[in-house]
């Protein structure tokens, strides 16, 4: 019985891991661009889901329209946050930047609680919830939708970064901001755009998460730990590493939770960074930092 | 010399600002009785605030009837955010600044346990809706449970699950905190004492977004029933995964979730029919029979912000009311010149008092400060209609 459930745990772990990967990727985009970890990213995740709820269930717009508007809104929010709150203190100590990000996140969460603090919301799926059997393995339309959507998104990002001229500009700026500035790239605008992109990616994660779990203002804060853990596991700043780290984290949670103890599910997100930082600080796919002297 | 003067002045100021012990008529004037209502008006547990609003609505209704012995109730809300430190600050403000007669409602066991020593020391009565049984058992002066502590609800959960013929294998799905143990420990004791067996104990922590490992452990254990000592979001996560894996078990959940809101998460009701139940505290389905009166009170006396944004007042509003009903009855019994002592004696004198809300009548004594014990169970019948059950398959008359 215990081993026969392994395929089910793997499928479920991959499905959860895809969500962690998306959230880790949204944080990595911001980190790669500005070397700042956005501690308010979890609340951007929640805000994205609430935006879809307001546009969709509040204004009665079709789901895809509501989602497009929510992504646009969160892009603007991320852009504005970097442009007007982070950029003015960008030369200051990292602690100030971290505190600013944290403060923005808490403010956002407080605002959400003011309006929806005493109720849980069930976001309506834009598709019927069906169950498919693959042998003994249960796969739902949620699993298919989450994995399919996230894979498509990763593929689109890969094409954007590797094939298009814009992607080459982004990659170049990731590698050397001073060099990018010298060839005429507006680096502050690039930073703000990446923060906007990160917020929009996080919002997608929030929407997908809210389709499978009740939406509360605190939903996003719990994902922040998983996002960090996935980033650390994959290697800080590595886009591919964030994806791999998220999926590995999802699998680890499920397997440890089922075969060892369900208490491990919550602490996996904390155990992983401890082990990775002790054994391989650069993560699975990160590069060891080299300082030329 | 100046240094000594400064030191003396400092200690004089400190003495002046020390809180004076509350006197036995604090909060009572010729025309008013001031009551403090602590609740999680902000924070992640703010879903419990209808417990505060339900009580407040009843006191506003009593005020409209002329009050008690010529006095009207003045309710002051204070936010604990379900956080012990904030709860202590809120209680201090209510006792020493607002000078309330008593503290009411107070969902959140952690806060209730944190403020209990201060309340007992100051002699300020507490009549709350927190689940932790240790607040009132053993009986502490002035501390009363007029609704069911977690231990009573936990026993009711186990009693109902085991009333299904042949049910002996039971799993626990719980948070690891004190609140969940309040329910699940009592349920476990009952199960073991009545020939049952705990076949699995699984943990879902706050914020869990997936319950696959837990659902599959329950499946592997062969549990016929699950005691769900979980808050609402995590309970819904577990139920969704039990449904997803088509695990044929009965889930009886603690009172950390609102039945109507849980049902809203399963619009088709397919799996939850005859699978999901909760202990039921009331005499009848909400907004029907004797509870219709309270629906009307909520709608009339609560503000737009205090009422649900969508739909009718839910279970938690009704569950908040008995606290106020018992408090008001004790003021009536205490006569025209109530003191804390006479009010507490009045509560302890209540025997078989029917609140018109709860499934059980309220009975207190000097040694017993928990008023109610008997509960029903609520779930959907085979047709998907909300039904109150005395035991498995036995519906309360006229409850369907």
The alpha-carbon gap from B209 to the nearest alpha carbon of chain A, in Å, equals: 6
Size of interface A-B (CB pairs under 8 A): 106
Does the CB of B209 have a partner CB in chain A at under 8 Å? yes
The DSSP symbol for A121 reads B
Q: What is the pTM of this model?
A: 0.82
Summarize the confidence of residues A112-127 as an average pLDDT: 85
pLDDT confidence bin for B7, thresholds 50/70/90? low
Pairing of strands A137-140, B169-174: unpaired
Q: What is the CA radius of gyration of chain B?
A: 22
Between B265 and B228, whose confidence is greater? B228
A contact residues 264-293, partner B, Cβ 8 Å cutoff: 265-266
Do A120 and B47 count as a contact with CB atoms less than 8 A apart? yes
Q: What angle do CA B362, B363, B364 make, to 5 degrees?
A: 125
CB nearest A119 (choices: B210, B237, B309): B309
* In chain B, residues 76-115 whose CB comes closer than 8 Å to chain A: none
Taken in order B21, B25, B30, B31, the sign of the CA dihedral is: positive
Name which of B202, B208, B212 is nearest A12 (Cβ-Cβ): B212
A37 Cβ partners below 8 Å, 6+ apart?
A: A27, A30, A31, A98, A101, A228
Instruction: Transcribe B298-352 into DSSP letters.
Output: HHHHS-TTTS-SSSS--HHHHHHHHHHHHHHHHHHHH-SS--HHHHHHHHHT--S
Mean per-residue pLDDT, A156-182: 87
Dist CA B147 CA B361 (whole Å): 10
Which element (helix H / strand E) includes A13? helix A6-34
Which of the 8 DSSP states describes residue A89?
Answer: G
Closest CA to A16 of A265, A196, A203, A262: A265
Contact B47 A117 (CB under 8 A): yes
Nearest CA among B346, B281, B317 for reference residue B149: B281
B68 vs A: CB within 8 A: no
Chain-centroid distance, C-alpha B124: 19
Q: Where are the domains of chain A?
A: 17-220
- Say if the Cβ atoms of B210 and A118 lie within 8 Å: no
pLDDT band of B249, cuts 50, 70, 90: very high
Q: Are B281 and B359 in contact (CB under 8 A)?
A: yes
Each residue's pLDDT tens digit, A191-214? 999 999 999 999 999 999 999 999
Q: Name the pLDDT band for B4 (thresholds 50, 70, 90).
A: low
Instruction: Convert the pLDDT of each residue in B16-54 to its tens digit.
Output: 444 445 588 999 999 999 999 999 988 778 888 999 999
**Tokens 């949204």, located at residue:** A26
Residues on chain A touching B43 (C-beta within 8 angstroms)? 113, 117
pLDDT at A290 over 70: no
Please give the backbone phi and psi of residue B307, each rounded to the nearest 5 degrees, phi first: -85, 160
Structural domains present in chain B: 32-148+289-348 (3.40.50.2300), 151-280+376-395 (3.40.50.2300)
Any A CB within 8 A of B314 CB = no
Angstrom distance (rounded) from CA A50 to CA A112 = 8
């Amino acid at each position: 019985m215990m081993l026969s459930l392994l395929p089910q745990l793997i499928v479920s772990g991959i499905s959860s891991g895809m969500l962690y990967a998306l959230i880790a990727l949204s944080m990595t985009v911001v980190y790669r661009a500005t070397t700042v970890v956005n501690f308010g990213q979890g609340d951007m995740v929640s805000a994205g889901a609430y935006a879809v709820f307001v546009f969709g269930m509040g204004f009665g717009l079709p789901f895809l329209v509501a989602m497009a508007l929510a992504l646009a809104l969160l892009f603007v929010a991320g852009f504005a946050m970097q442009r007007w709150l982070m950029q003015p203190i960008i030369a200051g100590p990292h602690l100030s930047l971290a505190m600013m990000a944290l403060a923005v996140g808490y403010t956002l969460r407080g605002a959400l609680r003011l309006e929806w603090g005493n109720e849980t919301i069930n976001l309506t799926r834009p598709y019927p919830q069906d169950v498919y059997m693959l042998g003994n393995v249960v796969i739902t339309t949620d699993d298919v939708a989450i994995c399919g959507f996230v894979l498509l998104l990763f593929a689109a990002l890969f094409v954007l970064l590797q094939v298009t001229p814009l992607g080459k500009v982004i990659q170049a700026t990731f590698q050397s901001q001073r060099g990018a500035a010298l060839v005429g790239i507006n680096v502050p605008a690039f930073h703000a755009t990446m923060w906007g992109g990160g917020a929009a990616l996080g919002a997608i994660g929030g929407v997908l998460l809210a389709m499978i779990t009740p939406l509360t203002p605190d939903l996003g804060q719990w994902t922040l730990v998983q996002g960090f853990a996935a980033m650390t596991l994959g290697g800080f700043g590595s886009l591919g590493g964030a994806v791999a780290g998220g999926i590995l984290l999802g699998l680890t949670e499920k397997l440890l939770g089922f075969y060892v103890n369900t208490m491990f599910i919550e602490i996996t997100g904390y155990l992983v960074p401890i082990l990775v930082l002790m054994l391989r600080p650069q993560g699975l796919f990160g590069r060891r930092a080299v300082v030329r002297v | 010399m100046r240094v000594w003067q400064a030191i003396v002045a400092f200690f004089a100021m400190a003495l002046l600002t020390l809180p004076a012990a509350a006197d036995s008529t604090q909060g009572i004037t010729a025309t008013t009785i001031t009551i403090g209502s602590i609740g999680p008006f902000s924070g992640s547990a703010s879903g419990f605030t209808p417990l505060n609003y339900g009580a407040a609505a009843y006191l506003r209704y009593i005020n409209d009837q002329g009050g008690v012995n010529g006095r009207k109730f003045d309710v002051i809300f204070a936010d604990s955010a379900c956080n012990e430190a904030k709860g202590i600050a809120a209680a201090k403000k209510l006792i020493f600044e607002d000078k309330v007669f008593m503290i009411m409602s107070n969902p959140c066991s952690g806060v209730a346990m944190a403020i209990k020593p201060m309340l007992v020391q100051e002699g300020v009565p507490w009549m709350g809706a927190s689940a932790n049984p240790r607040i009132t058992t053993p009986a502490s002066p002035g501390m009363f449970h007029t609704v069911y502590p977690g231990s009573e609800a936990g026993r009711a959960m186990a009693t109902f699950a085991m009333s299904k013929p042949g049910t002996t294998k039971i799993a626990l799905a719980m948070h690891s905190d004190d609140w969940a143990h309040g329910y699940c420990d009592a349920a476990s004791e009952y199960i073991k004492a009545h020939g049952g067996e705990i076949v699995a104990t699984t943990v879902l922590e706050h914020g869990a977004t997936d319950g696959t490992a837990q659902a599959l452990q329950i499946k592997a254990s062969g549990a016929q029933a699950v005691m769900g000592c979980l808050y609402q979001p995590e309970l819904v996560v577990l139920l969704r995964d039990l449904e997803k894996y088509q695990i044929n078990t009965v889930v009886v959940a603690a009172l950390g979730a609102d039945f109507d809101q849980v049902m809203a998460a399963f619009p088709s009701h397919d799996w939850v029919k005859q699978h999901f139940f909760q202990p039921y505290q009331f005499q009848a389905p909400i907004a029907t029979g004797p509870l219709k009166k309270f629906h009307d009170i909520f709608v009339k006396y609560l503000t737009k912000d205090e009422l649900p944004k969508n739909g009718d007042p839910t279970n938690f509003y009704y569950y908040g009311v008995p606290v106020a009903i018992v408090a008001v009855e004790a003021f009536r019994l205490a006569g025209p010149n109530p003191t804390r002592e006479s009010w507490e004696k009045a509560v302890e004198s209540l025997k078989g008092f029917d609140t018109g809300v709860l499934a059980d009548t309220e009975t207190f004594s000097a040694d017993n400060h928990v008023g109610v014990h008997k509960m029903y169970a609520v779930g959907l019948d085979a047709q998907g209609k909300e039904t109150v059950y005395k035991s498995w398959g036995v519906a309360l008359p006229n409850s369907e």
